[in-house]
Amino acid sequence: MVHGRISRLSVRDVRFPTSLGGHGSDAMHTDPDYSAAYVVIETDSEDGLQGCGITFTLGKGTEVVVCAVNALTHHVLHKDLRDIVGDFRSFYRQLTSDGQLRWIGPEKGVVHLATAAILNAVWDLWAKQEGKPLWKLLVDMDPRMLLSCIDFRYITDVLTEEEAYEILQKGQVGKKEREKQMLTHGYPAYTTSCAWLGYSDTTLKQLCAAALKDGWTRFKVKVGADLQDDIRRCRLIRDMIGPEKILMMDANQRWDVPEAVEWMSKLAEFKPLWIEEPTSPDDILGHATISKALAPLGIGVATGEQCHNRVIFKQLLQADALQFLQIDSCRLGSVNENLSVLLMAKKFGIPVCPHAGGVGLCELVQHLIIFDFISISGSLKNRMCEYVDHLHEHFKYPVIIKQASYMPPKAAGYSTEMKEESVQKHQYPHGEVWKKLLPAQED
């Protein structure tokens, strides 16, 4: 049973200098420093448990998210955790509908990222107090209780609460067998670690060979900066993995709509399953145009890692604008909003293939996609979860990958808790790492 009144909320700016090695580089983000606004919630409970939540960022923007977290803190302090989870929909709406902060959203951008960090911490604390990993907390939850966590405002034209209840009720059938399947075999993953745009051919080959040796069968390559370079790199990786293994491509929003169609027509020979973020993440009709144009080539469109909220996802689904839906555990308003998107995807019959990587995104989203399979989708067809082999060592309970699959976490919580020594070492700008780097960068 949840208990305790929230007595403290702290947030820190944690940054890792990944730009120095080209890790995470793509056509739009050439020098990312993988970072996180790291939130810790404490209560007056004698159990001493803390709720830990993060929002992933790429460096300088972290300080802005930290400011937004601090601006939202008054909505959280002194609240009873039992009251929050007992009417989670109202608490969610309180955070997302702040009469003044809403003006610089609403439910999008920096404020929504900050909301996700806070709510991720609340969910982590709830799961810890229940003694369950987050995915298991969700799987075991009564459908009505689960639905009470979701704000259905703005999406009832495509998904009512009663329709969502029917989906969850149908998901009860075979649920125990699917949970056993996850515990035994895990959830299938694909790797993005081999082919960041800033990697040399030598690095790409070495990482790809190592991944193949480790049993990976699904690979993603970054594209979009230079067509001839893309053709060369895609040929290199396709030759290495062979014709039977799955290849995806990711342009990270680089192209205009006609350019995306033309560019992908030239890359179609490498048989990509999808092109991810081919244009602006806000261009719903543009994605629909690209989807229609690429369908004869057998190339799907995937998007969602920078999708603002459930409303944009609703329209992408309505417009037949994507064939693979990519939720993000920090871009949306935490578990609450992701639940609504998982349910809409089920209604539209679109497979969910989450965005991960970054700082802690793999740790977070594994819970959501395992829950989705057990309780909502009931299918692994055309489904896989992204994996990036970076920075897991900084988490108390890092992801476990076996045979290219996510194994369900067993520790209580949302897997968001970072090692304190890592936080202190990488806290910006006074952590040990940045004290060494900043003078050199300033020179």
Residues tagged active-site: 222, 355
Indicate the pairing of strand 385-387 with strand 274-276: unpaired
DSSP class of residue 250? E
Cα–chain-centroid distance for residue 232? 30
What's the 3-state SS for 348-417? HCCCECCCCCCCCHHHHHHHHHHHHHHHHHCCCCCCCEEECCCCHHHECCCCCEECCEECCCCCCECCCC
Structure tokens at 292: 């229609």
- Asked if residue 106 has a cis previous peptide bond (ω within 30° of 0), the answer is yes
User: Sign (positive/negative) of CA torsion 130, 134, 139, 144?
Assistant: positive
Type of residue numbered 325 = L
Question: Both ends of the chain: CA-CA distance in Å?
Answer: 55
Contact 189, 387 (CB under 8 A): yes
Phi, psi of 127 (to 5 degrees): -65, -40
